[in-house]
């Protein structure tokens, strides 16, 4: 999901570009804490019984406002695409974009967080093996290069 913080508010867009702000109104409200203009790329997650529940994300998007209390969602940011000071940062290497992302999110609160990241292959392997127990469905490997439109990274799923 793309979080697009503008001067006039926040828009949430699906990967296909569909407007989903209405389904995730309180995540949009949390996005109001970001300075404008900011654009983030990430994923919405729901924790249930100590595990990530991606099925709950799908049903949560179409559910009642009460679900924000019973099944609260969080936004995990993978990348920063637009920065309020530095502008469009997609041409910068991932490490530079990530540093800006971490700075942007440091005071936002628990509903919006940066994803875990490491350039250590052994750490990534441990995550891949250990995090499946809490519902993580895979890892994303991004080269340290400019942000490509579409899917310019490798996804290795723990479930097939």
Question: Which CATH superfamily is 2-117 part of?
Answer: DNA ligase/mRNA capping enzyme (3.30.470.30)
Instruction: Give Cβ neighbours of residue 90 (< 8 Å, ≥ 6 apart).
Output: 81, 97, 146, 147
| pLDDT > 70 in the chain, percent | 87
Q: pLDDT (tens digit, 9 = 90+) per residue, 68-109?
A: 677 788 999 999 999 999 999 999 999 999 999 999 999 888
What confidence tier does 159 reach under pLDDT thresholds 50, 70, 90? low
Q: pLDDT (tens digit, 9 = 90+) per residue, 99-126?
A: 999 999 998 888 899 999 988 989 988 9
Every domain of the chain and the residues it spans:
2-117
The whole-model pTM stands at 0.86
């Amino acid at each position: 999901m793309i979080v697009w913080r503008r001067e006039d508010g926040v828009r949430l867009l699906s990967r296909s570009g569909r407007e989903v702000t209405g389904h995730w109104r309180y995540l949009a409200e949390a996005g109001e804490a970001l300075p404008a203009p900011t654009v983030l790329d990430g994923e919405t997650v729901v924790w249930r019984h100590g595990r990530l529940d991606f099925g709950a994300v799908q049903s949560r998007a179409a559910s009642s406002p009460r679900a924000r209390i019973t099944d609260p969602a969080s936004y995990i940011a993978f990348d920063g695409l637009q920065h309020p000071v530095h502008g469009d940062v997609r041409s910068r290497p991932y490490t530079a974009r990530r540093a800006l992302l971490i700075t942007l999110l440091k005071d936002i609160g628990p509903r919006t967080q940066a994803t875990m990241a490491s350039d250590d292959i052994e750490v990534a392997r441990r995550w891949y093996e250990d995090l499946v127990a809490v519902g993580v469905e895979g890892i994303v490997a991004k080269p340290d290069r400019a942000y490509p439109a579409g899917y310019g990274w490798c996804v290795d799923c723990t479930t097939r």
